[in-house]
Structures are given as structure tokens and as C-alpha cells.
Structure 1
Amino acid sequence: MRHDPHDSRDPDDEAQIRALITGWAEAVHRGDLAGVLAGHAQDIVMFDVPPPHHGIRGLAAYRAHWPPFFAWQAQGARFDIETLDITAGTDVAYAHALLRCGTPEEFDAHPGFRLRLTFGLRKEHGRWLVAHEHHSFPHD
């Protein structure tokens, strides 16, 4: 694919973002808090499945939110990306993914159930950072 000289986007942006998000998901699966925090903005905003439903703001609050999830996941749950789509501009990007997130019993009961993730990213000093995450499950 030829790069358009009038397009100021870096052709490696999508690859960098894909590596950031897949590395994040792998760190979540391992229960690696440092890996989960890597590549996140200090002013991260996250809307997650469990409370608080008004969202989590700032890296310290984001950090504090993960240990209960790791404890639940250690009981045999999965956190595996199935699909990941990325759209990158010059300094802002978004991505959305579907993940298998649950226990074997939950997958047996609801085989098609997937966690939906949306990421908002911005480029600072040549580096992509996750500035927003939204995690949700469908509500039937």
C-alpha cells in the first residue's frame, strides 16, 4: 500500500494501537497491574460494567478498580479479544473490540455473550495513550 504524501497520518499508527490494546488485554488476563496501566493517560476516563456507574476518572482511580476484577478472573475466567477494529487519525484514534470475558459456566450458559469495549486514544509526544475506555455487556 502506497502512502499518500498529503496524508499526515503515520502508517504505523494502527499497528502501534493494535499492539497497545492487545498488550493491555494480555496484561489484564495475566493480572499484571503495571501492564494494564501502561499506555494509559493520567486523565483516563473509564465507564465499566460494575459501579461506579458515573465512571472512573484519573489513573489512580483506574489502578484501584482492577484488583477485584483480577480476584474474580483468578477463579478461571477468560479475557480474550475476538475482534479489534481501529480507526486512527493523526493524533486521535478510536477502537472497538469484542471479548470473551467470563467463566466456563457463563460461556456454557450463553455461548455468544461478549464484552464490548470502546477505546478513545490520543497521541502525545509521538506515543499513543488510551484516554477513554468503555466496557459493556448487552442487556437483554
Structure 2
Amino acid sequence: MNQDEQQIRALVERWAAAVHEGDLDGVLADHTPDIVMYDVPPPYEGVRGIDAYRETWPPFFAWQAQGASFTVESLDVVAGAGADVAYAHALLRCGTPEEFAKKPDMRLRLTVGLRKEGGRWSVAHEHHSFPDDTP
């Protein structure tokens, strides 16, 4: 694993830990001012900009405080040495005990696109999704 991949892996793991802890400042760290995020709940057109991204987290933290989990189970990073763009994808255990009792294999899918500016990696694009398993 090269140094860029190690830095990105650490960034995603810090972000996930901040989400798990309900630490808004930690969640916002390492994101670009022009972040674009596509999330599970609406708005369907996603959110654009760090201020809109910030506003999406308090409702999630409130839901999570009711006993939901948020942990990374697998994480893959693709970054070429010397490149200024990279991506990572992960599977996360994200749900309540009741949801996992009904769907034990349920996982949140995460994809992030990153830019390296001034020697520092930042998330410029973030996408969360669950598979649609409705009949």
C-alpha cells in the first residue's frame, strides 16, 4: 500500500469514527468547500457545498443515538503515486438492531472521490446507498 492509500484509509476511518461518535466537526474535516454528496434520504439531487453537507448530519446523529450502529467493515482505496485524484469504496454496518434482525446482511455502500491539494487529501464527492431489495 502506498503512502497516498494509507493517508486516504486513515481519513475515511477518522470520518467513520467521527460519524459513529456524533462529532460534527470531525465529520466535516477533510471535506472540500464544494463537496457534492448523494445520500440515502432526499434531496434526490444531492447536496452541494460544505454548509448543505453540514445540515444533513444532525438528523442522522439523532437517529443513530437511538441505538443504530455505523462501522466500516471493508474499505478499498485506489490512489496512484503522485496523482491528485483518488477514490475509495467501502461497506459499512449502518442500521438499528431491529433492521439487522430482519436483514442481517444489510450494508451501506460508500464511495468517495478525493482531491489532493497542497499535499493534503480531501473528500470532494461522497455517495451513500443501500441496495433496493423490494420485490
Q: TM-score, with normalisation over the residues of structure 1?
A: 0.92
Partner of 2:74: 83
Question: In structure 2, what is the Cα distance between the partners aligned to 1:100 and 1:53?
Answer: 23
Partner of 1:5: none
Partner of 1:40: 31
Q: Could you tell me how far 1:80 is from its partner in structure 2?
A: 0.4
Question: In structure 1, what is the Cα distance between the partners aligned to 2:122 and 2:75?
Answer: 17
Question: In structure 2, what is the Cα distance between the partners aligned to 1:78 and 1:114?
Answer: 11
Q: Could you tell me how far 1:119 is from its partner in structure 2?
A: 0.3
In the alignment, does 2:129 pair up with 1:126? no
Partner of 2:41: 50
Structure 1 unpaired stretches of 5+? 2-10
Q: Could you tell me how far 1:92 is from its partner in structure 2?
A: 0.4
Q: Could you tell me how far 1:46 is from its partner in structure 2?
A: 0.1
Q: 1:95 aligns with which of 85, 88, 91?
A: 88
Q: 1:110 aligns with which of 78, 99, 103?
A: 103
In the alignment, does 2:15 pair up with 1:24? yes
Question: In structure 1, what is the Cα distance between the partners aligned to 2:106 and 2:62?
Answer: 21
Question: How much identity, in percent, do the aligned residues show?
Answer: 73
Kindly provide the CA deviation profile for residues 19-56 of structure 1, in whole angstroms up to 9, marking residues without a partner as x: 00000000000000000000000000000000001010
- For the residue of structure 1 that corresponds to 2:32, the secondary structure is strand
Aligned pair count reads: 131
Structure 2 unpaired stretches of 5+? none
Return the letter of the residue paired with 1:77.
A
The ranges of structure 1 where at least 4 consecutive aligned residues each deviate by more than 4 angstroms after the TM superposition are none
Return the letter of the residue paired with 1:54.
E
